[in-house]
Structure 1
Amino acid sequence: MTKDKTTKDMADSVNEREIVLDILLELNRPEAMSHLVIGAALKKYQYLLKHQRSFITRLAQGTLERRIELDYIINQYSKTPVRKMKPLIRSLLEMSVYQLKYMDNVPVSAVCNEAVKLAGKRHFVNLKGFVNGVLRNIARNDCTCEYPDQKKEPVKYLSVRYSMPEELVAFFKKQADDTTVESILAGFYKEKTTYIRCNTKKLTVEELKAHLLSENIQAEAVEGLPYALKITGYDYLLACESFQRGEFFVQDISSMLAGELASPAPHDRIIDVCAAPGGKSMNVALKLTDGSVEARDLTPLKTQLIRENIARLGLDNISVKEWDARVSDTASKESADIVLADLPCSGLGIIGRKPDIKYHTDIEKIEQLASLQREILTVVQEYVKPGGTLVYSTCTISRSENEENAAWFEKNFPFIRDGSAKQLLPGIDGTDGFFMVKFRKKL
């Protein structure tokens, strides 16, 4: 028996919907992170065919993204409200309704029949009729339901329409005007683009494009970022030979722009105070000749992740240090030409990539995060040489964490802004939500 036939036989024996169901049940744990859970499942089933992996990813991510809307629809067709359902039955109905509403190429019969089979297989034989009845009724009505009135209940309408918790919708409405808020919410659902940063110490961008093409991956240049490529057509990126050879790393445009803002000189010494997984450190390190980067983070797990990425790329001008950014390092005082401070934040700008964030965000804790950022900035500003640069950035769209913290920093420390702050917004700027501002230390 050939290897290809064995792989195909293994793939044919797998129930993709059952894998998705297990992913969703795992994501019911408050501490679970969707990108890690989905990634672990795909790694476990590496032998699956490309279309199977795509189905699993889309269904798991889509169900999680649309959970509030899916529950709203189910509640209009079920006598038992979703909050009273067994977790497995609730997740099974959610993923099935997602297929009915958002996956036109999946037959209704397949959705309903497979859901009923899974209910029985997972020891809910007595609920097979319930599952079948609810799904058939929803399918018969084309998933239609009565949404909240947009004028009378604007917050609830946006909550259901974009599957965003009401308290977060209300929070966003305090940050921006209604048109911008809806653009942001819609932006979270736009197709995610994958960008990579070429390891220009190993090869040119054109050479990388040729290598990618040999692996059936299409690559396009990115305007204004000569080392960046937009890629499509890949299956499991971590398995690509060009990735394993360290020819590139994945990095969003917004994160690359933070490196552009830092604008390091070839000989600069740079400290990245919250560096994991190392993208910004590697980006700026590739701009240096005999300069150096010290990448720091809080835990052994995070620093190990940085080391693994550096080793894969073969970069020898980055050192790694386990350090709590809140603790002053007297040996580093006024030693850095550039300090990168991409600090822990609420992550509201990357909900499109990590939808679990919206379900676990506590609005009250956003102010605590803003306070933590100030605590860290108070310490790390000491590391900047007179005339040197500090770049403060977050992946959120909260004023208290962004513009208000920037104003506070400028008021309380001997720094002046070098140019305007940049707030990138999903659905408007074509990137993740990201804030960055550059400060120059007074001489």
Structure 2
Amino acid sequence: MTDKKKSSRELALDILLEILEKGDFSHTLLNKTLKMQNTLTKQDRSFITRLVEGTLERLLTLDYILNSYSKVRVEKMKPFIRNLLRMSLYQLKYMDQVPDSAVCNEAVKMAEKRGFKSLSGFVNGVLRNIARDSRGDILPGEEKDREEYLSILYSTPKWMIEKWLKEYDYETVKKMLTAQFEEKKHTTIRVNLAKNTAGELADRLREDSIEVKEGSYLDCALKIQGFESLDSIKAFKEGRFTVQDESSMLIGLIAGIKEKDYIIDVCGAPGGKALHGAELLKGTGMLETRDVTDYKVSLIQENIERMGFHNIRTVKWDARIKDEDSISKADIVIADLPCSGLGVIGKKPDIKYNMTLEKQGELVKLQREILSVVSSYVKEGGTLIYSTCTVNRDENLGNVEWFMENHPFCLQSLEDYLPQKLSGETKEKGYLQLVPGIHDTDGFFMARLKRNIGSKAGYSGKRFHE
């Protein structure tokens, strides 16, 4: 994908082939490709990003429509052809500024250029039939089959729809699904208050022609847009801010971090929560942030060096393996654990196609395994923060309930830690589920748990909150 003669559409198609046929991750591959293609204009970069992300977001919808017009089902097509059709249909249906004729002509040219001249007529016929068809939407009706309707309209696997409808009401599910398609113009950042105030950083970014507005809930959060890349922003390279969603920033607040605390962050990459924790320690104490691979640890270390904190260290460690030297040592343990990631499908749309009910069940087991290990690091009376970036109950509240039945911990109210304008009737109980479309954040779950005074290793209790 380094051929500079490739058009924007060809680059987008190559990215889609890597993601959908070879299982590469959308956000990393897209960023890597755009970084390599340093001769692309800002307009080209925006077009490629929109085309790749949009095709991924609407994949099931696109396939449903294509199967309605093609005698050959999408799954039976050659990989190049099916992804060419998907990408072209996205332009026809969702990119009004692109003429239909240009979409069809470019698709035919690409098919011929890549050795599929014999199928160029098929490509042309399918796309032109769709373009000139006046039947309008051919999607399933809402009243006939609500699950099928939501699945196709919002391009989300039916099993997810069925699961969420058991956990949320119908309107909430629709809002959650709609939110993943909202135009993502801004990037949320957390201000490094050790180096500048939010106002100072905002002024500096505006001087560089970057658009800035306040965060939705927190004073340390800003939303920015109108920049080429993070590496092009001098304030970023100087460590004056880091990219982090506001939902993730809340972890540092509900932890109730005090000066001189000793904190262990057990699954820390890329380091956002750990860096926030180090900042809240105000140069005191120590935060040890861990992850399982050299690569993940290097990501954290890179961010530590950029942000300039000295009361934080990295360790390569598998969270499933008990560290005997850490038992009962930590004032706070932050356990933001591997999860299905279904709270961030608006940013990483391919997640929803790669996750299965079976994989999600395995993740629940992994989360419980890790919690059982890392909870032993918490001192008596200390705090365990459990969080995930998903909206599934069994990974979230279900795990908290299981954990308290088997370990000497109880929930503590979040009322004193969270901003008043952040709604959630469960804050007093000690946990909060953030839902896209309801809250202006990623989908995210957080719980604050206290280790009971005088608890023993074999304790099993069912106290739900305190």
Question: Is the TM value for this pair above 0.5?
Answer: yes
Q: Give, in whole Å, the separation in 2 of the partners of 1:345 and 1:328.
A: 20
Q: Against the structure 1 CA distance between its residues 143 and 215, is the aligned structure 2 distance closer, same or farther, given a 3 Å change threshold?
A: farther
Shift of 1:352: 1.1
Q: Is the 8 A contact 2:213 2:223 kept in 1?
A: yes
CA distance in 1, matches of 2:135, 2:108: 18
Decide whether the 8 Å contact of 2:336 with 2:386 is kept in 1. Answer: yes
The SS at the match of 2:214 is strand
1:365 corresponds to 2:359: yes
Alpha-carbon distance in 1 for matches of 2:380, 2:134: 65
CA shift, 1:14, in A, is 4.8
- For 1:30-49, list aligned pairs within 5 A: 31-49=23-41
* Equivalence for 2:338: 344
Work out the CA distance in 1 between the residues paired with 2:259 and 2:181: 39
1:397-440: CA deviations, max 9, x gaps? 11111111111222222222111210001111121110000011
Q: Counterparts of 1:3-402 in structure 2 under 5 Å? A: 14-29=6-21, 31-141=23-133, 144-192=136-184, 193-289=186-282, 290-402=284-396
User: Shift in Å at residue 259 of structure 1?
Assistant: 1.4
Q: Which amino acid aligns with 1:442?
A: N
AA matched with 1:273: V
Contact 1:426 1:433 in 2 (8 A): yes
Q: Partners in 1 of 2:140 and 2:6 — Cα distance? A: 40
Q: Percent identity?
A: 51
Instruction: Tell me the TM-score normalized by structure 1.
Output: 0.94
Query: Which is worse superposed, 226-235 or 355-364?
Result: 226-235
Shift of 1:224: 4.2
Distance across 2 between alignment mates of 1:194 and 1:336: 33
> 1:311-361: CA deviations, max 9, x gaps?
111221110001111111111111111100001111111111111111111
1:428 is matched with which residue?
Answer: 438
| CA apart distance, 1:210 | 2.2
Mapped to 2, the partners of 1:308 and 1:426 lie a distance apart of 30
| Equivalent AA in structure 1 for residue 187 of structure 2 | T
Once the 2 structures are TM-superposed, how far is the Cα of residue 202 of structure 1 from its aligned partner?
Answer: 2.2
Q: Structure 2 length normalisation: TM-score?
A: 0.90
Q: Please say if residues 101 and 142 of structure 1, whose CA atoms lie closer than 8 Å, have aligned partners that are also in contact.
A: no
- For residues 240 and 64 of structure 1, the distance between their equivalents in structure 2, rounded to whole angstroms, comes to 28
Query: How far apart, CA to CA, are the structure 1 residues paired with 2:134 and 2:345?
Result: 28
Deviation at 1:100, TM superposition (A): 0.8
Are the equivalent residues in 2 in contact too, given 1:115–1:131 (CA < 8 A)? Answer: yes
Cα distance, 1:214 vs structure 2: 2.2
For the residue of structure 1 that corresponds to 2:313, the secondary structure is strand
Residue-pair matches, total: 434
Partner Cα separation in structure 2 for residue 59 and residue 305 of structure 1: 28
Q: Which structure 1 residue ranges, 5 or more long, are not aligned?
A: 1-9
Q: What's the CA shift string for 1:105-131, capped at 9, x where partnerless?
A: 111121111111111111111111111
| Residues 165, 423 of structure 1: alpha-carbon distance in 2 compared, 3 angstrom cutoff | same
Alpha-carbon distance in 2 for matches of 1:320, 1:391 = 19
Give the 3 Å change call, closer, same or farther, for CA 224–90 of structure 1 in structure 2. closer
Per the TM alignment, residue 83 of structure 1 is displaced from its structure 2 partner at its CA by 1.4
- Secondary structure (helix, strand or coil) at the match of 1:225 reads coil
- Relative distance call for 1:142 and 1:38 in structure 2 (3 A) is farther
Partner Cα separation in structure 2 for residue 345 and residue 215 of structure 1: 37
Q: Distance in 2 between the 1:223 and 1:35 partners?
A: 24
Gaps of 5+ in 2: 414-429, 454-466
Is the CA contact 2:21–2:79 (under 8 Å) kept in the aligned structure 1? Answer: no
Q: 1:282 aligns to what SS in structure 2?
A: helix
Note the C-alpha offset of 1:161: 0.4
